């Protein structure tokens, strides 16, 4: 399944010693929608935002394709507030580091080498939310993979008509540029022509820093 490949991308090969405490990866098909994530996190002060393909759909104002999971981002300093809210709802959190999925005790954060936390609904025995802990703070977004780029948080995150926060489309596409899976190519083809000129220019310049010679740079200039 594509979700298996996506979830474990970059991880070491699975083996008999690889630890997997949670439900099967296939249960991501029962993941939350952005509305459900927003309802669960209503009132938290953390500057969290929906990421990935769902973020692009929130920017467009309509769902354009199926999504295998839902990802949100939050600056690492604010993660404890998000964690406490989810645990108060009876949900269970797991670290995902190099393909090992390990149950966390309440309030525990495993790292610092890992940035990804998966959330389950114990009653449904399914994965429901993927959280990316990122650098930066309430005022500033910082590119997680290298730290080479930054932007005002007000430019990096936005909200849809219902108030659901999402990562700005030019930043979503910057992250998608690395893997260039079929869905990433489709997302770029749909979104890039609709970006305001300022955001297209930012994306092209950022790709030049992170992925020099990337084929999207020329297409953004066209």
Q: Is residue 216 within a helix (H) or strand (E), and if so which, with residue range?
A: helix 215-221
Angle at the Cα of 116 from the Cα atoms of 145 and 38, rounded to 5 degrees: 105
Domain residue ranges of the chain, discontinuous segments joined by +:
2-167, 169-222
Q: Give pLDDT tens digits along the chain (222 positions).
A: 344 435 443 444 455 678 999 999 999 999 999 999 999 999 999 999 999 999 999 999 999 999 999 999 999 999 999 999 999 999 999 999 988 999 999 999 887 778 999 999 999 999 999 999 999 999 999 999 999 999 999 999 999 999 999 999 999 999 999 999 999 999 999 999 999 999 999 999 999 999 999 999 999 997
Pick from 31, 1, 24: nearest CA to 131: 31
User: pTM score, two decimals?
Assistant: 0.92
Pick from 115, 109, 107, 114: nearest CA to 86: 107
CA distance 75 to 32: 21
CATH fold for the domain made of 2-167: Beta Polymerase; domain 2 (3.30.460)
């Amino acid at each position: 399944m594509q979700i298996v490949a996506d979830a474990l991308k970059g991880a070491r090969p699975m083996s008999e010693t690889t630890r997997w405490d949670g439900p099967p990866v296939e249960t991501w098909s029962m993941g939350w929608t952005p509305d459900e994530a927003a309802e669960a996190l209503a009132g938290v002060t953390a500057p969290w935002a929906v990421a990935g393909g769902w973020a692009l759909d929130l920017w467009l104002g309509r769902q354009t394709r199926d999504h295998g999971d839902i990802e949100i981002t939050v600056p690492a300093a604010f993660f404890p507030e998000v964690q406490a809210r989810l645990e108060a709802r009876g949900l269970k959190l797991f670290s995902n580091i190099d393909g090992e999925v390990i149950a966390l005790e309440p309030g525990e954060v495993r790292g610092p080498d890992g940035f990804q936390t998966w959330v389950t609904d114990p009653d449904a025995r399914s994965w429901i939310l993927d959280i990316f802990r990122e650098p930066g703070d309430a005022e500033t977004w910082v590119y997680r993979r290298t730290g080479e780029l930054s932007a005002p948080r007000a430019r990096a995150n936005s909200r849809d008509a219902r108030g659901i926060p999402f990562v700005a489309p030019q930043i979503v596409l910057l992250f998608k540029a690395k893997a260039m899976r079929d869905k990433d190519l489709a997302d770029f083809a749909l979104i890039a022509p609709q970006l305001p000129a300022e955001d297209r220019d930012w994306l092209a310049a950022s790709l030049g820093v992170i992925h020099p010679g990337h084929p999207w740079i020329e297409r953004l200039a066209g």
